[in-house]
Amino acid sequence: MENFISQLKKEPAFQEASVLAFECTWEKLLHEIDELLTQLGFVYFTYSVLTRGVINPSSESQKQRWDSGSDIVGSLPDAVVKSYYKDIAQHDPLWNVLPSITTPFLVSSLDGGQGTLSENFWLKQGISSRAYIPMKSKSSRYWFHYFSLFHKLPPQEFDVFFNRISEWLVPMLSRYHELLQVVCEQEQNPYLKSEVLSPTCRQVILMTAQGMPVKRIADKLALTEEGITYHITRAKKIFGAKNKTHLVAMMYEVGLL
């Protein structure tokens, strides 16, 4: 591993190379990340897109996404992801901290982190230490992207190890994040992926954003005016929007318009 780290420090080829987004695929990028992290001794990694503060948390679609862990990709087995979100996440003190971090966060920094239900869960998976690295997004208000890195090293040893590699590892992961965003933003957009709003509902809101009155939208889409009002009202409820203007602004923010 020492030779590998030294080589990356001297020749950060990935950071220097000009990579064209259209030459990449979602699977190829995730595979490259996995190979890199495996050589550094990481057991698993995940790349996450969690949406917080927009969709009504009590909505069924939001609940299903959290229960299934459908916003999580990477090398962590699906069964572990689903088990964590179903039984552990709501008790994990990490979630009081994670949404607001702006720099890498090591779980060892949590007060009283050892011995908690979540720590016992990860120890059973052969994981002693975790690092969470936030990534920038187009809308920092709504989308929270981050890499989770899982390692076997005990916390104190891992903290020293991570501090040694973070100077070049974090920029490298940021570059992968940028490519993942470009390549698969629409495919992985959780609002589209989970079909939070139907195509008809999105069309209604788009035409509303263009300034069309309800009657004209109804005529264009061969729907009743009551039907148009229903779609607008439902979308406002899902997003918790105060009015149509607020709804349109929120939908633009999350890439639905």
Please write the tens of the pLDDT for every residue from 18-76: 444 446 788 888 999 999 999 999 999 999 877 665 666 556 665 666 666 667 889 99
Q: Which fold has domain 199-253?
A: Arc Repressor Mutant, subunit A (1.10.10)
What is the torsion angle, in degrees rounded to the nearest 10, for the CA atoms of residue 4, residue 131, residue 42 and residue 84? -170
Classified as helix, coil or strand, 69 is coil
Residue owning tokens 């695929």: 25
At residue 21, the pLDDT reads: 47
N-terminal to C-terminal alpha carbon distance within the chain: 46
For CATH 1.10.10.10, the residue range(s) in the chain are 199-253
At residue 4, the pLDDT reads: 63
Classified as helix, coil or strand, 117 is helix
Q: 220 falls in which pLDDT band (50, 70, 90)?
A: very high
Please tell me the distance from the alpha carbon of residue 188 to that of residue 206, in angstroms, as a whole number. Answer: 21
pLDDT over 50 (residue 244): yes
Look up the CATH number of domain 21-192: 3.30.450.80
Which one-letter DSSP state was computed for residue 185?
A: H
Sheet with 42-51, edge to edge strand ranges: 72-74, 42-51, 143-151, 129-135, 105-106
Each residue of 100-138: pLDDT tens digit? Answer: 888 999 998 876 555 588 889 999 999 999 999 998 876
- Predicted model pTM: 0.75
For CATH 3.30.450.80, the residue range(s) in the chain are 21-192
Closest alpha carbon to 182 in 8, 24, 14 = 24
Provide the mean pLDDT of the chain.
Answer: 82
